Amino acid sequence: MKKIKGIHALSMGIAMSLAASVAIPARAAPDKLTVVVTDEPKSLDPCDTDLSGNSRILHNNITEALVNLSPKDGSVVPSLATSWRQLDSLTWEFKLREGVTFHDGKAFDTHAVIAALKRAQDPALACEVGLATLKGLKLNAEAVNPTTLLIRTDVVEPILPNKMSALDIGSPATPGDAKTRTPAGTGPYKLEAWTPGQSVGLVAYDGYWGNKPAIPNATIIWRAESAVRAAMVDTGEAQIAYEIAPQDGTTEEDHAFPNAETSLLRIDAQIAPLNDRRVREALNLAIDRDGLVGTIFHKDAQKAMQVVPPSVFGFNPDIPVWNYDPEKAKSLVAAAKADGVPVDKEIVIYGRIGIYPNSSESLEAIQAMLADAGFNARLEMLETSPWLKRLLKPWNKDRQPSILQTQIDNAEGDAVFTLPNRFTADGNQSTIIDAGLDKLIADGSKATGDERKRLFQQAFKYIAVDAVNIAPLFHMVTIARVAKNVNYTPDVQAGNEIKLKSISYR
C-alpha cells in the first residue's frame, strides 16, 4: 500500500516535543471529571442538537428527549416518554414520565413538549433539529392531560418515535423568540457555566428522575490538536479525550470504535466547472483512497461509496467504491476542456480544522492528487463558524466553485436521517437540485418495509453513480483515550453524545 509522505515524520515530531514536557500524571479528584473534545459548541440551545458539537454536551447530559435509540441496534427505548403507540396513519400517542422536573424547578409535562415542538419548527429560530431531522414534517401536538400527548403529522411518518429521539426538550421558560445559552433541561447534569473560549462546566442535578451520576462535577474543554488532547490524559489534565489521530492513538488507553460517521467531500455541482458530470467523476477517480488508509486515516476505516454505513436501513450494498485511476481522470478533464468547460478555473477546497484527526493533512494530500489530475485546486482550512457558513444555506450566487470537507453521522439507523436535508432541492445543506431525486426521497420517507429500503437504495445510487454529487471517502473509525482509572467504553454514539452519567472511577 502506498503511504502518504510526511505524515509519519509529523507524528514523530509531535510525539518528541510532547515527550519532553510530559509530567507525572496527576490523580483527578474523585468528584471531578474533565473531558477534552475538538472544538467549542456553537450553541447550547436544546433545539440545536442536530450538530454533533452541540449534542455531545447537551444530549442526555443537560437535556433529554422523549425517547432514545439503542446503540446496539437502533431500536427506540424509553426516556421522558414511557410508552407510545400509533393511533392512526397520522396520529401518535405518547405517555410521559411522571414526577420529572426541569433544572429551573418547572414541571415536565405535555405543555413543555408542545413548547419544544413549537420552537423546533419556528423558521425564525432556525433550529437545527427543525432544519434537519424534522424537515418536511408539520407536527401538531395536543395535550390530552399532563402526561398524555397526541402528535399529529401532516404526512404519513412511520418512524416518528425515531425522529423524536432528536428533539431535546428544554424548560417551558426557554425563550420562544430567541436561542438560549443557558439551557434548563431534565438531564442528570445542569449547566453551571459556559465560559466562551475555555470550558463548559456541569454539575449533577439533585432532582434527577433517574440514576444519579457517579461523578458529580464534569468539565468539557476543547483543544484542536490530537497530540495535545492525548497528552492531557497522560498528564492527568483530562480523563477522557476524543478524536485521537491514528499516529497518536498507540497506547493501551486508546480505544478505537466505529463512530457512525462517513467522511466525504461535498461537491458544489451548481457552479462551473463542477456542474459538468465528467469533472465530478474525474475528481473522484483522482483520489487514492487506498493510500490514505493506515496513514492519514485509521487502518480500520472502510472505503465508502455512499454517505451512510452498512448498518443504516436503506444502505445500498451494490454500489461499488471508486477505483483510483488518475489517467482516466486526466482524460475526462481534457474532454471537458475540449468542449469549453472552464476546467482551469480555481476550485476552493474548504476544510474544517479538527473535524476529524488529520483533517488538514488529508486535504493536503487530496489537493496534491487533484493537481496531478489537472485540477486547479486551492486549500482553505476554516474554523468551525466560517466553515458552517459554507456548509449551510443561504450561499452567495456568485461564489467560487468549491468542494467542502464534511462528515455525516447516522447513529439513528434509517436513511431518512441523512437524505432530506442534504440531498433535496430545499435541503439546508444540499448542493443538488433534482426533482426526480426529491421524489425518490419523499416517497421513501413515507413508505415502510421493503419498499422504503428499495427507494432509499435507489436514492443513494443516484447520488453516488448518476449525479456524482459527492466524493465519498470513508466510513470512519475514531479513537478515544481513556485514563486507566476510568470506567468508560465508547460506543457508536460517542461522536454525538458524551454519556457522562455512565462514567465512573475504578
Q: What CATH number has the domain bearing residue 420?
A: 3.10.105.10
Residue 366 lies in a domain: yes
Count other Cβ atoms within 10 Å, centred on residue 5: 10
pLDDT of residue 14: 43
Per the CB < 8 A criterion, the answer to whether 219 and 32 are in contact is yes
Residue 377 lies in a domain: yes
Residue 239 lies in a domain: no
Q: C-alpha distances in angstroms, 494 versus 194, 293, 483?
A: 21, 22, 16
Burial category of 402 from C-beta neighbours within 10 Å (exposed 0-12, middle 13-18, buried 19 and up): buried
pLDDT of residue 439: 96
User: Could you write out the DSSP letters of every residue in 268-284?
Assistant: -TTSTTTTSHHHHHHHH
**What span, in angstroms and rounded, lies between the C-alpha atoms of 381 and 389?**
13
Residue 484 lies in a domain: no
The number of residues in the chain equals 506
**What span, in angstroms and rounded, lies between the C-alpha atoms of 372 and 217?**
52
Reading the block at residue 487, the C-alpha cell is: 470506567
Q: What string of H, E and C letters represents the secondary structure of 21-50?
A: CCCCCCCCCCCEEEEEECCCCCCCCHHHCC
pLDDT digits (tens, 9 = 90+) for 128-182: 999 989 988 999 999 999 999 999 999 989 999 999 999 999 999 999 999 999 9
pLDDT of residue 345: 97
pLDDT digits (tens, 9 = 90+) for 332-365: 999 999 999 999 999 999 999 989 999 999 999 9
User: Could you write out the DSSP letters of every residue in 188-207?
Assistant: SEEEEEEETTTEEEEEE-TT
Domain that holds residue 314: 258-478
Helix axes 277-285, 326-338, angle to 10 degrees: 160
**What span, in angstroms and rounded, lies between the C-alpha atoms of 74 and 279?**
38
pLDDT of residue 23: 46
Reading the block at residue 452, the C-alpha cell is: 422504503
- Of 212, 210, 248, the C-alpha closest to 231 is 248
pLDDT of residue 209: 98
Residue 344 lies in a domain: yes
pLDDT of residue 27: 64
- Of 245, 267, 266, 264, the C-alpha closest to 256 is 245
For the chain, what percentages of helix, strand and coil (3-state, to nearest 5) are there? 30, 25, 45
Q: C-alpha distances in angstroms, 220 versus 2, 53, 466?
A: 38, 11, 43
Per the CB < 8 A criterion, the answer to whether 463 and 150 are in contact is no
Residue 456 lies in a domain: yes
Beta strands 81-88; 302-303: pairing state: unpaired
Hey, which residues does 220 pair with through a beta bridge?
35, 200
Dihedral sign for Cα atoms in the order 221, 223, 224, 230: negative
Distance between alpha carbon 235 and the CA centroid of its chain, in Å?
29
Residue 249 lies in a domain: no
pLDDT of residue 22: 45
pLDDT along the chain (506 residues), means of 10: 42 43 60 96 95 94 96 91 97 98 98 97 94 91 98 93 96 96 98 97 98 97 96 97 95 92 96 97 98 94 94 93 97 97 98 94 98 97 94 93 95 90 93 95 92 97 95 96 96 91 96
- In sequence order, what are the residues at sequence separation of 6 or more whose Cβ sits closer than 8 angstroms to the Cβ of residue 218? 32, 33, 34, 35, 61, 189, 201, 202, 203, 500
Residue 440 lies in a domain: yes
What's the structural domain count of the chain? 1
**What span, in angstroms and rounded, lies between the C-alpha atoms of 369 and 458?**
30
The DSSP code for 413 is S
**What span, in angstroms and rounded, lies between the C-alpha atoms of 332 and 279?**
7
- In sequence order, what are the residues at sequence separation of 6 or more whose Cβ sits closer than 8 angstroms to the Cβ of residue 220? 34, 35, 36, 37, 57, 199, 200, 201, 202, 498
User: Could you write out the DSSP letters of every residue in 222-241?
Assistant: E-S-HHHHHHHHHHTS-SEE
